[in-house]
Structure 1
Amino acid sequence: MKVVVVGNGMVGSRLVTELCASAEPGAAALDITVLGAEDHAPYNRVLLSEVVAGAYDVAAIDLPGVVDPRVGVWAGVCAVAVDRAAQVVVDSTGGRHRYDALVLATGAAARVPELPGLRRDDAALTPPPALTPTGLGCDAAGAAASPLPGLLAPRSDSAGLVPGAHVLRTIDDAREIVAASVNARHVVVLGAGVLGVEVAVGLAGRVGPDAVVHLVHPRGLMNAQLDAAASEVAADAVARLGVHVRTNVGAAAVVLHDGRVTGVVLDDGTQLPADLLVVTVGTLPETTLARGAGLDVDRGVVVGPDLATLRDHRVYAVGDCAQPPDGGSGLVGQGWDQARRLARTLAERAGALAVTPAGPRPEASDGVPGDDCSCGPVDDSSVVKVKGRGVDIVAMGVSGSARPPACGAHPRRTVRLSDPDAVRHLEVVVQGGRVVGATCVGGGAVAADLVAAFTRGTPAPRDPAQLLVRAVGPVGGSAETPVRIPDRATICRCNGVTKGDLVQAWADGSRTVEDVARTTRATTGCGGCKAPVCGILDWLRAAEPARSAPAAPTAPAAAERGEVVRSDSRS
């Protein structure tokens, strides 16, 4: 079965990896073609802000590649049209790729606001190419034209912006921002979501004390994850790291001199000098290819629970470009979970060796769960942790200002501990006897315990306040005591790696974080699990002499002598 994957980013490459590793009988018959718009091997896009901050080198964020005779990767080649009737994808070189199954993993593009002075005049005036009936842009001679507007092309996403202005979506964007920061003395970051905070803090550490970094946002800091009180404390924490935070005020225009950025005018009339402007105001799902193919598109490519598009069951969408029934979180964990599920579906389909007529996708038999109870299964991939030097902000589940209504059958309890003078704000939400949400600014070890309680679904104490005061009642064992963590506990949420998986990787010879990343993929997602992974490796290293002894002591005897004993999956 021929599978064409459009997109070689974090989700597209993961799908290919899962397909090649599938144990389904049909996996051996797969013929996979990957069209990757960027002229790079797959890399961890989540860590681009860390590249800007100088915490990672560009080469350090590469993802493990797949070397398999069933896979052909076309790097720097983007898809420009889909002919669903002929089951063919046309690429930017004029190549035609037939498919039995097509997967759109086109991701998202950086959103660029309509701000006077931000775009190059020539880019704003360039008309889009005409579309043929198949959706392919062509020039007057009938040759394949440039990629359609909005498609990820082998270029920086900052193309089209005036010199001095950048977005951060690709590895080339990161390189350009790093190069521009060398001589920057006035930096303005527009947008204070997670990425904006990470970029501002990273640049403040990179450009040095003589430079000024402003962070501008029309609402509260990280308003999607934090409520007003938490946002104020977070803004204070970021300010103490050398960032001038300006919230509840937006940008009105970009000031140019000789066509280059020299400042930003705010809507309160203030003008900020700027020789480096970074725009981090969100992303837009890349749906141009799907629209041209006549597929249903809302904010993203509309798919069913099986990730197939509504009009054509041979075409699927995963990752940031997809709009599943339960909505898109924008987090890589959701995309990787979709890749795992779709890989299984495609491998099973290849094994069935049954070709069904093209047409509307049949309705999924299981449908969408109709239970609106907010006590339902917790999406443990919804943990958001800000990365960066000195930043300690974590939010998960029920948090922020916009919260789902409480379930009438199970009352919700919310406990807050706000200590703004110490730059600390903690909140935990308990419902149905477990933690369903939490917000931690300056939470330290308490935040680690709350993440553990949230992701593991451990029973909450009768008094939820105990969850916020670590000395009174830590959650199911401290995050710093690996011996008390059950083997089934998930350590890397992005990749679903448990403590047991890490212990097995150690037993198989993995001794470093890099080794573990290669064998289990732990730490290759958002990077937030690196500290606990290192802690477990240190624990295993310390316990190695006891493990290699000819006769291991029994658990009670070892405990009496204070030795570390491995917990099993029943703990």
Structure 2
Amino acid sequence: MTRLVVIGNGMVGARFVEDVLSADTAGRYDVTVIGSEGCEPYNRVLLSEVVAGKHDFSALTLPTPDSPRLTVLRGTHAVRLDREDRHVETADAARVRYDRLVLATGSDARVPGLTGLRNREGLTSGVHALRTIDDAREIVAATLNARRAVVLGAGVLGMEAACGLARRGVAVTVVHPAAALMERQLDEDASRVVESAMTGLGIDQRVGRGAVEALVAHGRLTGLLLDDGEVVPAELLVLATGTVPSTALAADAGLAVDRGVVVGDDLSSPTDHRVAALGDCAQPPEGGSGLVAQGWEQSRRLAARLCSPALSATFASGSAKAVPDRDPTSNVSDVVRLKAHGLDVVTMGVCGSQRTDDPAQRTLHLSDPDLGRHVEVVVSGGLLVGATCVGAGPVAAELVTTYTRRTPVPSDPAHLLISALTPQPRGATGSVADLPDDATVCRCNGVSKAAIVSCVHDGAATVDQVAAGTRATTGCGGCVDDVCALLAAVSTPAPGEPTDSPTTSRPREDDVTKGKHMIHSAETAGS
């Protein structure tokens, strides 16, 4: 039996354990997981939804495989890695021996070096990061007494947190030093439209202005001093200033570390082939996206390499066909949907600060700030290579499909805007049920329409049952509405078919309602 130790029990570490136990049909591996948090693994992508009050904590829990070959050590963390003796030492002085080791230590919230943010015990009272389930609990508790909050940083997480706090009735101000909100995804024109929409939600913004000091009185936060001298009063400060890969353990063990743990195409460390790294802590040759979809793809790839030489060779050749239910033409890693109550923002590919002066790219945009709408498309080589959609949900749905399936665009790209903005007649196609069978519905997990339909035919009648059978909806949750639509469509009896057929029972009304009220998607994880 080969001893496989996984350090980290987050979204990627837990998924890798599931993948490797599923792929290990020969029963070669005895798996031990070391997780620093004392709870079951959970969906970190949805923490902002908890802050918003749209999900409770129990809804975030991810399944743990039930296997006699799996041991999970919760509530303890690895403090030392001895590569020579091949063991991991934990905080409670246990020694866990390994033959192969996988680092899935993730990343930590980046805390700026501003005066006043820290005290001897840690963060100043009233100052919170949003990275763990405990962070979310503390922020929710703080909203009971805080009248005014500041969110520092307006990337995807900061925007979601700000909207979540506003939804709880807290007066919110967003402070962001860049010239545009979500500057990785939005240019200044798009940002202005989003800023106007935020004002309508009661959220103030200080864009292009940085913070220089957290103001503290009697040990508690009272406000934030900006670089132009303005003081923004606040009893609650949420830090959304990025993350830092957790690499200390690897560095102390002498593994190659740059920004993350350096790994090759096979996800192994060049320093020690027995050690691999996945997810936020890893630095693969193509770079890290910070999105859970990339970590889950790495999980499938490493599980295949460890358990199936044939699949490993296919992955090594760069083919996506080794991934079950994966549309090989889809690009799941850079579609971003903001899951923020009252804001409709979807971007993909070339957008925001990623824009370059490429003469091969043609850009068209429609901006209508009065209606809160901004749409931009970028075309190159007859394909859609990027898009930005603000306040234009139907347009975004059309463009995501065109982008991920690499559908050739019209010779005049203006038709991408015109056709999408033209109201569709009743009965026009566009439902998820009209997609081809190989179309990807859940982009986080690469689950096709055919896989979901098959799961329904096998007896799944609720979103939870489809999730258990296919993993669809377990990423960012943005495909919930589509899964509900497929449940309804597949469960509707054909003309003349008995209504009591076991394969045609309709989904419960409360299950469809649940789906409609779940997040409308944000691919900070890519679904």
Same fold (TM over 0.5): yes
> What's 2:277 paired with?
317
Pair 1:180–1:549, CA change in 2 (3 A): closer
Distance in 2 between the 1:471 and 1:274 partners?
A: 41
1:265-318 Cα offsets, whole Å, 9 max, x none, are 111101111111101000000001110111111111111011001111110000
Distance in 2 between the 1:392 and 1:399 partners?
A: 16
Pair 1:263–1:99, CA change in 2 (3 A): same
1:187 to 145, 149, 154: 149
Q: Which runs of 5+ in 1 are unaligned?
A: 124-159, 353-363, 369-375, 552-571
Pair 1:278–1:483, CA change in 2 (3 A): closer
2:331 to 360, 363, 379: 379
Query: Is residue 173 from structure 1 mapped to residue 135 from structure 2 by the alignment?
Result: yes
Distance in 2 between the 1:183 and 1:545 partners?
A: 58
> What's 1:342 paired with?
302
Letter in 2 for 1:430: V
Contact kept, 8 Å, 2:304 with 2:311, in 1: the verdict is: no
Distance in 2 between the 1:201 and 1:435 partners?
A: 30
Pair 1:479–1:243, CA change in 2 (3 A): farther
Distance in 2 between the 1:39 and 1:213 partners?
A: 32
Pair 1:47–1:282, CA change in 2 (3 A): same
1:365-419 Cα offsets, whole Å, 9 max, x none, are 8699xxxxxxx9763321111102111001111111223564x7xx322111111
> What's 1:444 paired with?
393
1:1-46 Cα offsets, whole Å, 9 max, x none, are 1100000000000000011111x554x1210000001111010000
Distance in 2 between the 1:423 and 1:48 partners?
A: 27
**Aligned pairs for 1:170-249 within 5 A:** 170-206=132-168, 208=169, 211-219=170-178, 220-249=180-209
**Aligned pairs for 1:76-115 within 5 A:** 76-115=75-114
Letter in 2 for 1:217: H
> What's 2:341 paired with?
389
1:510-530 Cα offsets, whole Å, 9 max, x none, are 111111111111111011111
SS in 2 for 1:468: helix
Query: Is residue 399 from structure 1 mapped to residue 351 from structure 2 by the alignment?
Result: yes
Query: Is residue 454 from structure 1 mapped to residue 403 from structure 2 by the alignment?
Result: yes
Letter in 2 for 1:379: N
What displacement does 1:473 show?
A: 10
SS in 2 for 1:336: helix
> What's 1:10 paired with?
11
Distance in 1 between the 2:10 and 2:373 partners?
A: 36
SS in 1 for 2:112: coil
Letter in 2 for 1:3: L
SS in 1 for 2:352: coil
Letter in 2 for 1:44: N
1:523 to 467, 473, 479: 473
1:417 to 346, 366, 389: 366
Letter in 1 for 2:38: D
Letter in 2 for 1:531: D
SS in 2 for 1:313: coil
TM-score normalised by the chain length of structure 2: 0.88
What displacement does 1:345 show?
A: 1.1
**Aligned pairs for 1:288-327 within 5 A:** 288-327=248-287
> What's 2:507 paired with?
none
Sequence identity (%): 53
Query: Is residue 330 from structure 1 mapped to residue 290 from structure 2 by the alignment?
Result: yes
Letter in 1 for 2:136: A
> What's 2:325 paired with?
none
Please give the root-mean-square deviation of Cα atoms over the aligned residues, in Å.
2.4
> What's 1:135 paired with?
none
Pair 1:350–1:382, CA change in 2 (3 A): closer
Letter in 1 for 2:344: D
Pair 1:254–1:177, CA change in 2 (3 A): same
> What's 2:243 paired with?
283
Query: Is residue 60 from structure 1 mapped to residue 22 from structure 2 by the alignment?
Result: no
Work out which of the two has the higher radius of gyration on C-alpha atoms and give 1 or 2: 1
Distance in 2 between the 1:88 and 1:404 partners?
A: 47
Contact kept, 8 Å, 1:37 with 1:75, in 2: the verdict is: yes
Distance in 1 between the 2:4 and 2:118 partners?
A: 38
> What's 1:260 paired with?
220
Contact kept, 8 Å, 2:345 with 2:389, in 1: the verdict is: yes
Contact kept, 8 Å, 2:197 with 2:343, in 1: the verdict is: yes
Contact kept, 8 Å, 1:433 with 1:459, in 2: the verdict is: yes
Distance in 2 between the 1:517 and 1:545 partners?
A: 29
What displacement does 1:262 show?
A: 0.9
Distance in 2 between the 1:467 and 1:548 partners?
A: 42
